[in-house]
Each structure stands twice: as structure tokens, then as C-alpha cells.
Structure 1
Amino acid sequence: MTYLFTRAPSIRIAPIPTTRSISHSASSSKALPFGLNNLRSAEQNDGKVLRMLMFGKPGAGKGTLSARLVKKYDILSLSTGDLLRQHIAERTEIGRQAEEIVAQGNLLPDDVVLKVVTSKLEGLHNKHWILDGFPRTLGQGKMLDTHLQNQNSPLSLVVNLDVADGVILSRISDRWVHLPSGRVYNMSYNRPNVDGFDDETGEPLTKRPDDNPEIFSRRLKQFYDSTSPLLAYYASPANKFARLVTLQGETSDQIWPQLDAAVRRNFPGIRERAVSMAKWRYSLSDPFAVEQEKRAMKRRAVAGSDALS
């Protein structure tokens, strides 16, 4: 299995978008049932350190929900794309190898991407983290598991966001973005102050080229083809350490309480942050979450004034 820096399951060298997207080829019955599909004994995993993967269809809210966790708890959010760009910028051995492969127009092998990821994870034995962008396939998942188990730091939680295909399609159809900042609006539940214009700058909003049903259908099929076997692996006895939790809902606001409860239940010792929002920027999804929070505060203020009038 190899990587191409264009579409999932690849890692992009270009700036990572704030959202991810993928004929409606698979039914919702493919989703794993809600609940704890895998709960391993305390003897196998001490349960003290959160080492987490999050999966979900394109547009399911992975970035938003990960950012909320990072905002609330002492967790590092690690983007595979960010780590790769850092290696290239710092001219490390891995970075030079990856840059040369890409410059030749070749595909980046899984073992190179694994080195990029594990070079960071090896220094985080006692830290809570969420890994974004890897693994994307069954083979990559097994490679990562083998490495982490050899380091005595296996995965401890895998979250699957189960959002219906039709809900996500409706989201992306109503989505508009301010490309310079990455701010995202939705005409159904998060409208801009003035339709078609960014709240902060007043500049025009645009549609992403891949926010259309045809491209979404292709990416959704790709998700089912590559990620469903990976989720089945984490639900099977072959996964000896990580708990697999499948969460259902139509919006991130509906899923967030479930995710928060799952983290608290499985990792009761995890600490909440005592620092300001400005100090928890660890991934490219964080600025998006900040803007979401600002708009949520504005909506609450408007609702409050309406109630008083």
C-alpha cells in the first residue's frame, strides 16, 4: 500500500482543509453498533494514558470533535501531515527521504509515513494524544499496532463517528467557506451574519470544489472500502488493547457529550486544561474550533437578547 499526496487515505503536503469529505454505495447497516465493542482488561492496558484514533466519514466532524477534546483536556492532537511537513522543513533524514520521493512524482510508502508518525510518538509515552491522518487502511493499522505494542505504549481508544450519509451530504451542500482563514459556515445551522460574506473580514465566501454530491459519493465509497476493514479489525479479538466506541448523532453537538463521557469513563484520571484557549493550538483544526466557539457565543448572546425583548 502506498501514499499519494492528493486524496484520502493519503497525506497532503498542501495545507490541510478544515473539513474532510468522500453513488451512495453503502448503507448505514455497515456501521458498527453503538457501544463498547471492545473492552480489554486492566491487566492488558492500564487505562491511564489516552492514545486515540478517531474515524468517521468525510464531513462527520472529526476535526471539530478532536479540537474540543484538545481544548478541554491535556491532550496533544498530532496531524500526520503536519509532522511530515515539519520533517521536510527541518531537513531530517525522514524528511529528505520523503521530499525526494514526492519530487520524483512517486508514491510515499507506508513504512516512511510510519517513521514520520512514530518518530513523534516515541517521545510521548506518558502523554495523552490523538493521532489524525494515520492509519487509513487495515495494513497501516496493523503496522502501527505492532510498533506501539513493541514500545509498550499500545492504542487505548478508537472512536468511530457514525453519521448517516444523507446527513453529511446535506451538510456539505449547505457549506460555505472563507478560504483565506478556513472559517466554515453552514446555511442550515451556522449562517454568516450576512449571507455570502465572512463575519470577520466581510470578504466573499466560496464553495469548496469537492463540496458536491458526485465527489462526496466517490470519497464516501473510498471510506467504506478502506476504513470499514480497519474498523472491523479494531472490533475483533485481534485488537488486544484498544477500546472501540461507536458514537451516533447528526451533529457534533449531539456527539460531543457521548465522546466526552467515553473519555471520562475510560480515563478518569485525565486532567482538564487550566490554561487559556490561546495556548492549546496543536493542530490545524484548532483555529476552526476557535471560530466555531466565537460564533456559538455570538448566537447565545443574540438568543439571550431576543428572549429579553
Structure 2
Amino acid sequence: MKKLFLIIGAPGSGKTTDAQLIAEHFDDGIVHYSTGDLLRAEVASRSEQGKLIEGFTSKGNLVPLDIVVKTILRAIQNAPKDVILIDGYPRSVEQMNALDDVLKSQTQVQLINVIEVEVSESVARDRVLGRARGADDNVEVFNNRMKVYLTPLKEIQSFYTKLGILKKINGERTIETIVNEMEAFIQSKI
């Protein structure tokens, strides 16, 4: 059975970097997928689906639920390893419920934990605007992405807390400290 860990956090929280480093350290047993990277790869392919995705992401809006769920499920099913880290999902209550429904209806994948990397909005803003990787890293888009992240957050936290699987990690420390804590936590669960 594949063991799934979801890593959530504000734009600029470091969730992707943290997950990448853990997967590199345990490359024999852990694979990492970033929802953003999966969607960006689709956009870069210039497929019809990629063009559709770009229409949403270029404005900082959420990609429609069915497209995101299909993309993530394809990644999980094709994962070459049994422990999977996915960051950037869920970003809405609808995404959370859709994944929960899919996981309840099968036995190949078990959601072990949801790890929230917590950072303040000012730290997130400084990090995103400081890195400026692409056209979507500007103040207006950041503010929209932050609003999109924060709006469903309490409900997502409540849902996973009730299931007893939400773990919060302080994301305002050094990368090494954050990764060590997250790595030790994941190891304790597998």
C-alpha cells in the first residue's frame, strides 16, 4: 500500500523545497510531487489541457477540481515508490473532499498525514517577491494567491484535525531545522 503525505502552506512557505530535500535524502523510498510543478509541466507541454490550466494560473486562480484531481491521481498511481509526498494540495475544501472521496473508495493509497508549514503573510510575501521566478510572482498575484490559500484554511485544518492527521511545523526557521523535523516526523509514520 502506498503511503501519502500532503504538505500544505502559504505561497513562499518553503513546502516544495522541504519536500524535495526529504525525497532526495530518501531517494530509495520516497518520491515527491509538487502540485504546482505537475500543473506547470502540463502548461509547458502546450497541450490543450495545459493552455486551459494556464488561463487560471496566470491570474493566480485555482485550476478546476477535476483537472487537478486527475493530475494528482495519475502521479500517485504512477509513483515508482511507496511513500509519496505531495505539496500544494489541497488548496480548497472541494479539493480536500474530492481526494477524501477517492481515497475512501480504494485500498491502494492511504493518507498518513497532512503537514502544514506555517509562515506569516509578511514572510511569505518577502520570499515570493524576492524569488520572482515567473510572471505569477508579483504583488497583485501574490495577494490573490494568499487570499485563495487563507479562505478555506480553517475548514481544511479542522477536517484533518478531526481525523487526527494534521501536523503543524514552524516554517520560519532554517531550512535544515524544518527539513530535519519534517523528515523525523515522516520516518516515525512509515
Contact kept in structure 2, 1:162 and 1:246, CA below 8 Å: yes
SS of the counterpart of 1:254? helix
Match of 1:233 in 2: 159
Q: Give the Cα separation in 2 of the matches to 1:128 and 1:232.
A: 25
Match of 1:265 in 2: 188
Does residue 113 in structure 1 map to residue 68 in structure 2?
yes
Residue 264 (structure 1) shift: 1.9
Gapped regions of structure 1 (runs ≥ 5) = 1-47, 183-207, 268-309
Does residue 65 in structure 1 map to residue 12 in structure 2?
no
Q: Which amino acid aligns with 1:265?
A: S
In structure 2, the CA distance between the partners of 1:255 and 1:86, relative to structure 1 (3 Å rule), is: closer
SS of the counterpart of 2:91? coil
Where do 1:47-66 residues align within 5 Å?
A: 49-66=2-19
Match of 2:59 in 1: none
Where do 1:91-102 residues align within 5 Å?
A: 98=49
Q: Give the Cα separation in 1 of the matches to 2:182 and 2:51.
A: 40
In structure 2, the CA distance between the partners of 1:172 and 1:113, relative to structure 1 (3 Å rule), is: closer
Q: Which amino acid aligns with 1:136?
A: R
Contact kept in structure 2, 1:87 and 1:116, CA below 8 Å: no
1:21-69 per-residue CA deviation (whole Å, 9 max, x = no partner) reads xxxxxxxxxxxxxxxxxxxxxxxxxxx8531111111111111101111
Contact kept in structure 2, 1:122 and 1:151, CA below 8 Å: no
In structure 2, the CA distance between the partners of 1:176 and 1:113, relative to structure 1 (3 Å rule), is: closer
1:97-151 per-residue CA deviation (whole Å, 9 max, x = no partner) reads x358569x68953123222221232344961111234321111111112112222
Higher helix fraction: Structure 1 or Structure 2? 2
Where do 1:184-199 residues align within 5 Å?
A: none
Number of corresponding residues:
181
Does residue 132 in structure 1 map to residue 55 in structure 2?
no
Between stretches 56-65 and 110-119, larger displacement belongs to 110-119
Q: Which amino acid aligns with 2:112?
A: S
SS of the counterpart of 1:58? coil
Contact kept in structure 2, 1:137 and 1:229, CA below 8 Å: no
Match of 1:167 in 2: 123
1:222-264 per-residue CA deviation (whole Å, 9 max, x = no partner) reads 321033322221112xx3xx72210114232332222122112
Where do 1:17-36 residues align within 5 Å?
A: none
SS of the counterpart of 2:73? helix
Residue 70 (structure 1) shift: 0.9
Q: Give the Cα separation in 1 of the matches to 2:124 and 2:91.
A: 20
SS of the counterpart of 1:60? coil
1:144-187 per-residue CA deviation (whole Å, 9 max, x = no partner) reads 121122221221111001123333344456x356x6xx9xxxxx
Aligned-residue RMSD, C-alpha = 3.6
Q: Which amino acid aligns with 2:34?
A: S
Q: Give the Cα separation in 1 of the matches to 2:100 and 2:43.
A: 25
Match of 1:197 in 2: none
SS of the counterpart of 1:156? strand
Match of 1:248 in 2: 170
Contact kept in structure 1, 2:6 and 2:115, CA below 8 Å: yes
Residue 83 (structure 1) shift: 4.1
In structure 2, the CA distance between the partners of 1:99 and 1:256, relative to structure 1 (3 Å rule), is: closer
SS of the counterpart of 1:261? helix
Q: Give the Cα separation in 1 of the matches to 2:153 and 2:146.
A: 10
Does residue 151 in structure 1 map to residue 106 in structure 2?
yes
Q: Give the Cα separation in 1 of the matches to 2:124 and 2:51.
A: 37
The two structures have a TM-score, normalised by structure 1, of 0.48
